[in-house]
Each structure stands twice: as structure tokens, then as C-alpha cells.
Amino acid sequence: MINRISVSDGRITKEVQACAVFGVMDRSGRRFRGGMVINAMKNMRVRGNGLGGGFAVYGIYPEYKDCYALHIMFQDDDPGLKQEVDEFLHRNFDVVNDEEIPTNEEASVEDPPLFWRYFVTPQKKGEDKNLSDDDYVVKKVMYINTCINGAYVFSSGKDMGVFKGVGFPEEIADFFMLDELYKGYIWTAHSRFPTNTPGWWGGAHPFCILDWTVVHNGEISSYGTNRRFLEMYGYYCTLYTDTEVIAYAVDLLMRRQRLPIEVVAKIFAPPMWDQIDRMQENERKFYTTLRMVYAPLLINGPFTVIIAHHGEMIGLTDRIRLRPITAGEKGDMLFVSSEEAAIRAVCSHPDRVWTPHGGEPIIGRLRSN
Amino acid sequence: MAMKSHLLPEFIVERDNERCDSCKVCIKQCPFGVHYYDEEKDRVYSREELCVGCQRCVVYCPKNALKVIPYPKHYRPNDYWNESYIRDIKKQAESGGIILTSCGSARRTKIYWDHILLNASQVTNPSIDPLREPMELRTFLGRKPDALEIDLENMEIKTELHPNLMIEAPILFAGMSYGAISYNAFKSLAMAAKKFGTLFNTGEGGMPKDMREEFKDCTIVQCASGRFGVDPEYLNYSAAIEIKIGQGAKPGIGGHLPGEKVTAEISSTRMIPEGTDALSPAPHHDIYSIEDLSMLIYALKEATNYEKPVCVKIAAVHNVAAIASGMVRAGADIIAIDGFRGGTGATPKIMREHVGIPVELALAAVDQRLREEGIRNKCSVIVGGGIRCAADVVKAIALGADAVYIGTAALIALGCTMCQHCHTGKCAWGICTQDPELSKRLNPKVGAERAYNLLRAWSLEIKDVLGGMGINAIESLRGNRDHLRGIGLEEWELKVLGIKGAGE
Ligand code: SF4
Ligand code: SF4
């Protein structure tokens, strides 16, 4: 029998938005508080409109290092909803600990939903036994997101978490008390300027699967091509944002196909044929094949994206640099930002500040001791 | 007793006698014998009933003395019993036979291209200026792997790849055989394809020996039900092989090249005796099922050492999506879908006008189906059958095609005026004819230049449209139906096309 995947017929409405992105990493692995990244986002306040802000932080739960940390939002006050999720989680995981995510009642955000975090380890049964832990978690997270109405998993990686919502980034930071409560070695942040959808807490960024997070700015013109290609690999875009498409593409290429970012950057933002045709034989062959095979994952149109997972933070801009990204470094600290001013606002004497070419990734990796 | 014909002329030939100086050029130019010279009156006259409206004499009259215009509606106006039905009935009452015609469907049916509108960027996403920035149309046709295994240190790709064709724009010349078209027309297309960096297709009539070496890298060789001219050398002097199952102008039936057209050259190219009819059976008699197709695909791959992609071409029929899926599973690297407006050198009118479906709908259904089955990147999809302009190409790519075939448009570039008389073998423009006097009217150098210019012009237009959408590589348009909107379409049509209505 032919196995037919359910794919959408192409008639969906995509969200359009503009944004600011910022990321900072201490490559020595030292963990630091969020004040710096919050200030950087304040500096770029005009790039958002208060309809969405969010942060991803790595290294925040060292005491639960081996558990998947699920940050879950409950949209409705309905106690039955949380009970449904609790039961689902207990059926499928060992829930090592769970608690409400602490929030600041005084923060100036409107109608925040309920947030809960669960530290879990997989309890695989039946045919799920063949799945890797990661694939199992993805499957269960997808289930909650698509099948349990009103519950939404913000993040699902180990020793990391996503905090996001409707408001300016500094308001969201205040709400989750990020500066006071958490220390991490990578912080990425996003401020949103949606042009066609009302704010929704789940619609804010970063976007996360496992410990992979993506913050993104831009409007990709290849959205339909990318989305329809990813559907063939079982990724269904439920949020209809460009960020979601990029996040799934990252998951497919980097996690499932194990391609390094150096290659993935050349798939998202490949060199021009003119350039490839002038390369030496083996390089030319390499790039030609890459473009030929991964053509549907070329990300066209303006974008700046910051991708992070444990041990790595990557900044990338589109192939013709329609949305430039600026990088800076000082000692072990690496910054990537929509604007240079934001870097200078939080690091007065950087060793170096530069604007990389389109398709040239800025890669921050943990230094091996 | 001779029967008086009741048929009325289709055209009026108007000669301005003030301008005409009886130079007789028109007499020489017209292969249908319309113009004649009356010595007594020292004037040129015409037999209008013979005129097919090919406009050759109009273009070549040195005095601009001629006008060929459609005959005014002759019968009492009637939407139902219109001219075309009355004429056909009269014709059949006189001949007792099938009505033969050529080219593609001329009947009024919904043209979906004209109900689809394109998008452009404003504010949130910048458009890109094709005069300042590179715009890339390079296209690869063939099977792609799901993933690549890469040895980063040596920048080496370890995955074994299937052969792919590289073309500089997503436009190829469709199969038109030497036999159906003249040697000069055939060669014009080959030369244009080579110069531009795309491919032409031999059609089912084999490849003239003298062209093999020069054009082997830009030739798709066809293997059709008649197997004309197919031998190992033919298969190997090519960039790709196409198995032709059917064509849009006449799905489900074969072909017939009358013996008078089988000249010495055609006989040696097709490998059949001179002067015998070249009959292509309706089906391939070794393909009665999808398993049989698979065997032929692999036989051809064996014969060419798995170095060439194999394409299978079918007519767009009702369950085209399921058939296409079967073809991919049978091993086809490329599938070509020919819509019901596709052209031909000769076809019964009933087939041309009533069999098959529009390629727009067929394409949308096939692309969607292959994605649902997760096999879309296991093949490339080429569509043809009525692609008229660069906008049609853009719409086809956005609906999901990898590239398009152009046949009729290419012939129009060479000189064809769509007179629909190819089947008479008397093409005044030297295209659809084997008459040496007529063929030599088309100089392959000039023909190639015209066909090349057309490819160039369309490419420029495609780049303009892409730039407007904020896209700088054609692959980002492929299957990107977000950039399309329908107008004047019913809900079911929008659904099949997978596009939203304008304003949605
Ligand atoms: S070609 Fe023109 S000028 Fe010459 S005979 Fe014909 S109509 Fe007259
Ligand atoms: S190819 Fe020649 S005969 Fe056929 S339609 Fe065109 S002009 Fe007429």
C-alpha cells in the first residue's frame, strides 16, 4: 500500500512580521545573568511593537541536566486542561519534578496564561521503543501542540528553556524574572513586530524543538517552497511563521541528517552560480551538488537568524544580505545582533565588530577545556 | 457523379490591384495553389476556397498588396450550431471520413493560466532588481537523494547520485520528430538549445546521423511505440531518454507518417524502408502495465550504463496523479505531462478537442500527489501543452513544475502562424513539411537565432517577475503556490490548484 502523508494543499495564510534579534554566548561556558541581553533588546525597542518578546537560555537547570525540561503554556483557565496534560505526561514520561514557572505579578503584561515546567525522562512503550529519546520527545511534544487544544509546549530541551509572551522583551523578562532567577551561557532574544496577526503568547519567539531554538527576523519569499518540502518529512507548520519553517529545516538538516552548520549555511544561503562556476573543480562539484539536492531548502528573501543548541550559537543572514547581521566579540563573549548599536550598548569596548557576508555564518562554539 | 462541395471558403484574399504589379511572388510562395496568373488579363487572381490563412503571401508580397482575412460569419448566427460544427458536418457528409487536423486544441475551454495572478513584494519584503542583482534560473532535472552524506574535510560528497540534467532556464523544446517537422526546423531547435544551454527532444523519429556528435549533450532522445530509429548508438548519443506513452493532442492513439513523407533521409533515420507508412501503434506493445513500463525503463538504463535520466511522457488524462505516482515508482527520473492543448503534426479532430484535461490542473494534482506520497524529489516534473508566454512558465513553476516543454511556441518563433494545416505536409513556412522546396525556406541559422531569442526573452521576463517577488533563484519559486492567486475560479478549482482566491 502506498503510504500517503497528509500534506496541506498549499492554501494557508502566513504571518508577516519584522523584528529584532540578539544573541550572546560565553564561549568558556561561564553562566551569566540576563541583564545584558535585556538591555540590548531595550536598545532596539523601535524594532518591535510590544506584541511579542522572548528569550532562550542555555544552562539554566544544571540540577536536572539529564531531564527534558518542558515549558508548557496553558491558554485556558480550565483545570481540566492541565489535568489532561498531566495525565498525558505521566503516561508517557517519568515526571521527575514539576512546578509552576515563577512569575512576577507586578509585571506590566496583560492576561498572562499559566506556565508550568516539567522535568521528565521518556517512558517508551510498544512501537515507540524503536525511537531515539529525542525523536520520542518530538513526537509527544507535537502531539500536545496539535492535539491538546489550549496547551502549548514552549520548549523541550535539556538544561535550557524558552520564556516568551506578548509584550516588549523587557516586560517579558520582568514577568519571568529572568535577570534575578536564571543564569545561562547562551542567551538569545527576540522582539516582534507582527504586521498581520494579533499577539498570542504561543506565537512569540524563540521557536524551539528539543534544545534547538531559532529567533528570526525577515520575511522569506521561499516560504511556500520550503514549507511544502518539509511536509514531506513530517513537519507540519502549525504557526505559519517563517521562523517555524527555519526551525524545522534546522532540525531536519542538523539534527536528523547531522550536517554541520557550515554546510547548512550554504544550503540556506548558497553562493551564486556565477561564483560556483568559477571555483576549482572539487569545490564546484560540492556546491553544485549541494544546491541541486537541497534546492527546496534555499531560504530566499531577507532574513537574519540566530540558531542555538547546547554548545553552539550561530548567526546567519540571507545570501544577498537584505537583513544584515552584526557580530562582535570581547574575550570569550560573542555577540550577534540585528544592530551594532545594541552590541555597543552592552559591551563598550569590543575587541572586534564586523558584518559578515551573506551566507557566511558566525559560529560560536564552547571552547573545549 | 461528382459532388458539388457545399463548403464555404474560410478566408478572403484581398488584393489591392493599385499596388499589385503581377510579380507572381505570391503564386510561388503559396503551396496551396491559391494565387494564379491570368495571361489574357495580365492579372493575378485567387481561389479563396483553397486558402488556409497561413499569411505567407501577405508577409512576402513586395508591394504590400495582400490581405488575408477571415471570411465573415457566413451562416445565421447560432451559438450552439456554430460555424465549426456546420462545417465539419458538411465536410464529413462529403468525405465520409474522420476529420484530420493538427496543432493543439482550438476549442473554447477555460484557460486556467489566465485565471491565475502572480504576486509581488511590497514593504515587508524587498523586491530585487534583476538589472543589478543576479537572478538564477539554472535548473536540474532528475532524481535527487533525500540526504547527502558529506566528508567535510575533503569537501567530498559520498552519496551516490543519480544522473541529472543541468539547464540554464526551466524551458526545453518538446519532442517534435524529424518527419513531422523538416530537417531544417529540427536542426534550428537543436542549435538553439545548444547555444542557450537547454535541451531539445527528437520526438519519435530518431536522430539524423550527421547531427549526433555535435548535439549529443543537448538532446533528449525519444523512444516511442514505433521504436523508430532506436538502437544503442541512438540511445547513447544523448543527454537523456524519454519514453513517450502519450501526447496531449491525441491521448490514447498512435501516429501515422504517410509514406510520401518517408524520404531517403527519413527512412535511414527511422530505420524503415523508403516510402512506407511509419505507423506508431497506439500503445507500446511491450507495455500493458506499470510493471512493463518499469522493465523498459530499466532496459534503457542498462543500455546506457545508468548514465542518463529516463523520462516518461504521458498525456494529461483524468487520473494523471495516480499514473504519475506509478511512473515514479517504476523508476522514471523525470515525468513529462502533456496537457490537452499540446500540439501535433496530425490528429483526428475529435481527439484533439475532447480528450484529456488542462495541464494546469494535471500539474497541480500530480505535484500534490507526489508530495503526499513523499516522493516528489525522487523525480522531476516537466509540463507542456500550450505554454504560450513567460508568465505561463512562471505559473507552471509556482504550481510545482521543475520545467516546461515548449513545442507550438517554438515553432511560432520559427515562423509558424498556427494555420493548423501541418497534416497536409505543405507548410508554407518550411516547418511541417518534407518538400525540399518548402523546407529550404527555413534557414537553420536564422531559425536557431529566432528560437534562441525566444528563450532569452522569456528568461529575462521570468527574472523580472522573480525579482518582483523578492526571489533570486528559480528553486525558491518551485511549488511556491503562496505566490499565486486565482480569479474567477470556483472553490473546487482553487482546491485542485492549491491556491487561494485573489484578495484572500
Ligand atoms: S506577391 Fe503581391 S505584388 Fe506580387 S503578384 Fe502577389 S499580390 Fe501581386
Ligand atoms: S507548422 Fe506550418 S502548417 Fe503547421 S500550423 Fe504552423 S504554419 Fe501551419
Closest residue of chain B to A256, computed from CA coordinates: B147
Tell me which residue in B134, B144, B368 faces A293 most closely, judged by beta carbons. Answer: B144
What is the pLDDT confidence band of residue A15, given thresholds at 50, 70 and 90?
A: low
Q: What is the mean pLDDT of residues A251-275?
A: 94
Name which of B225, B246, B221 is nearest B236 in CA terms: B221
ipTM for the predicted complex comes to 0.91
Instruction: Using DSSP bridges, classify how beta strands B310-315 and B240-244 pair: parallel, antiparallel or unpaired.
Output: parallel
Tell me which residue in A228, A259, A298 faces B475 most closely, judged by beta carbons. Answer: A298
Q: What is the mean pLDDT of residues A225-233?
A: 94
Does A265 reside within a domain?
yes
Distance CA B156, CA A4 (A): 34
- The string of pLDDT tens digits covering residues A183-211 is 999 999 999 876 655 667 877 889 998 99
Distance from the Cα of residue B151 to its chain's centroid: 43
Pocket (CB within 6 angstroms of ligand 2): B 54, 102-103, 411, 416-422, 427, 429, 431-432
Question: Mean pLDDT across chain A, nearest whole number?
Answer: 90
> Using a 6 Å cutoff on CB, does residue B418 contact ligand 1?
no
* First-residue to last-residue Cα distance in chain B: 67
Question: Could you tell me the distance, in angstroms and rounded to a whole number, from the CA of residue B42 to the centre of ligand 1?
Answer: 12
Does A13 reside within a domain?
no
Set of cell numbers at residue A176: 519571568
- pLDDT for res B446: 98
Kindly compute the dihedral angle of the four CA atoms of residues B74, B77, B82, B86, in this order, to the nearest 10 degrees.
Answer: -50
Q: Degrees (nearest 5) of the Cα angle A339, A344, A350?
A: 115
- Asked whether residue A50 carries a pLDDT value surpassing 90, the answer given is no
Residue A234, SS3? coil
- Return the ligand 2 atom nearest residue B103 CA: 5
- pLDDT for res B257: 85
Instruction: Using DSSP bridges, classify how beta strands B219-223 and B240-244 pair: parallel, antiparallel or unpaired.
Output: parallel
Q: How far is A299 from chain B (nearest CA, A)?
A: 7
Q: Is B478's CB within 8 Å of A232's CB? A: no
DSSP type of residue A251: I
Name which of A227, A247, A357, A260 is nearest A305 in CA terms: A247
Q: What is the mean pLDDT of residues A319-325?
A: 86
Neighbours of A184 (CB within 10 A): 25
Distance CA A144, CA B327 (A): 38
Distance CA B470, CA A221 (A): 6
Set of cell numbers at residue B58: 501577405
Residue B118, SS3? strand
Q: Which of B376, B381, B472, B489 to mutate to test the interface with A (most CBs of A within 10 A)?
A: B472
Set of cell numbers at residue A139: 513526537
Does A7 reside within a domain?
no
pLDDT by residue, tens only, chain B of 504 residues? 688 999 999 999 999 999 999 999 999 999 999 999 999 999 999 999 999 999 999 999 999 999 999 998 778 989 899 999 999 999 999 999 999 999 888 888 999 999 999 999 888 788 889 988 899 999 999 999 999 999 888 888 999 999 999 999 999 999 999 999 999 999 999 999 999 999 999 999 999 999 999 999 999 999 999 999 999 999 999 999 999 999 999 998 888 888 888 999 999 999 999 988 888 999 998 889 999 999 999 999 999 999 999 999 999 999 999 999 999 999 999 999 999 999 998 889 999 999 999 999 999 999 999 999 999 999 999 999 999 999 999 999 999 999 999 999 999 999 999 999 999 999 999 999 999 999 999 999 999 999 999 999 999 999 999 999 999 999 999 999 999 999 999 999 999 999 999 998
The residue to mutate among B43, B66, B67, B68, having the most atoms of ligand 1 within 8 angstroms of its beta carbon, is B66
Task: Write down the residue that cell numbers 534546522 correspond to.
Answer: A250
Q: Is B164's CB within 8 Å of A292's CB? A: yes
Name which of A7, A17, A20 is nearest A342 in CA terms: A20
Question: Could you tell me the distance, in angstroms and rounded to a whole number, from the CA of residue B503 to the centre of ligand 1?
Answer: 55
Distances (CA, A) of B388 to A337, B365, B409, B410: 47, 21, 6, 10
What count of Cα atoms within 13 Å lies in the side-chain half-sphere of residue A113?
26
- The string of pLDDT tens digits covering residues A133-185 is 999 999 999 899 888 988 999 999 999 999 999 999 999 999 999 999 999 99
- Asked whether residue A1 carries a pLDDT value surpassing 80, the answer given is no
Domain carrying residue A133: 19-365
Task: Write down the residue that cell numbers 513537519 correspond to.
Answer: A235
Q: What is the mean pLDDT of residues A224-242?
A: 86
Q: Please tell me the residue having the least CA distance from ligand 2 atom 4.
A: B422
Which residues of A are less than 8 Å from B480 in CB distance? 222-225, 228
Domain ranges of chain B: 11-97, 174-466
Name the H helices within B8-128.
Answer: 25-29, 56-60, 83-95
Residue B56, SS3? helix
Question: Could you tell me the distance, in angstroms and rounded to a whole number, from the CA of residue B451 to the centre of ligand 1?
Answer: 29
Q: How far is B136 from chain A (nearest CA, A)?
A: 7
Given CATH 3.20.20.80, say whether it is the number of domain B11-97.
no
Name which of B133, B105, B46, B80 is nearest B342 in CA terms: B105
Q: Is B374's CB within 8 Å of A232's CB? A: yes
Q: Is A290's CB within 8 Å of B164's CB? A: no
Q: Please tell me the residue having the least CA distance from ligand 2 atom 6.
A: B416
Distance CA A226, CA A236 (A): 11
- Return the ligand 1 atom nearest residue B44 CA: 5
Question: Could you tell me the distance, in angstroms and rounded to a whole number, from the CA of residue B367 to the centre of ligand 1?
Answer: 53
| A19, A67, A208, A237: the active-site residue | A19
Q: How far is B480 from chain A (nearest CA, A)?
A: 4
Tell me which residue in B471, B478, B482 faces A14 most closely, judged by beta carbons. Answer: B482
What B323-326 contacts at long range (C-beta under 8 Å, 24+ apart), as own/partner pairs, is B324/B366, B324/B369, B324/B370, B324/B381, B325/A2, B325/B369, B325/B370, B325/B373, B325/B375, B326/B290, B326/B293
Question: Could you tell me the distance, in angstroms and rounded to a whole number, from the CA of residue B441 to the centre of ligand 2?
Answer: 13
Q: Is A2's CB within 8 Å of B373's CB? A: yes
Instruction: Using DSSP bridges, classify how beta strands B116-118 and B484-486 pair: parallel, antiparallel or unpaired.
Output: antiparallel
Check if A147 is active-site: no
DSSP states of A99-162 as a string? EEPP--TTSS-SS--EEEEEEEEE---GGGGGS-HHHHHHHHHHHHHHHSTTEEEEE--BTEEE
Task: Write down the residue that cell numbers 556565477 correspond to.
Answer: A274
Give residues with Cβ within 8 angstroms of A339, minimum separation 6: A20, A43, A44, A47, A326
> Using a 6 Å cutoff on CB, does residue B24 contact ligand 1?
yes
Q: How many domains does chain A have?
A: 1
> Using a 6 Å cutoff on CB, does residue B480 contact ligand 1?
no
Could you tell me which CATH number the domain at B174-466 has? 3.20.20.70
Instruction: Using DSSP bridges, classify how beta strands B278-280 and B255-257 pair: parallel, antiparallel or unpaired.
Output: antiparallel
The residue to mutate among B29, B176, B426, B431, having the most atoms of ligand 2 within 8 angstroms of its beta carbon, is B431
Q: What is the CATH number for A77?
A: 3.60.20.10
Which of A235-239, A324-328, B299-303 is the most confident on average? B299-303
Q: How far is A128 from chain B (nearest CA, A)?
A: 22
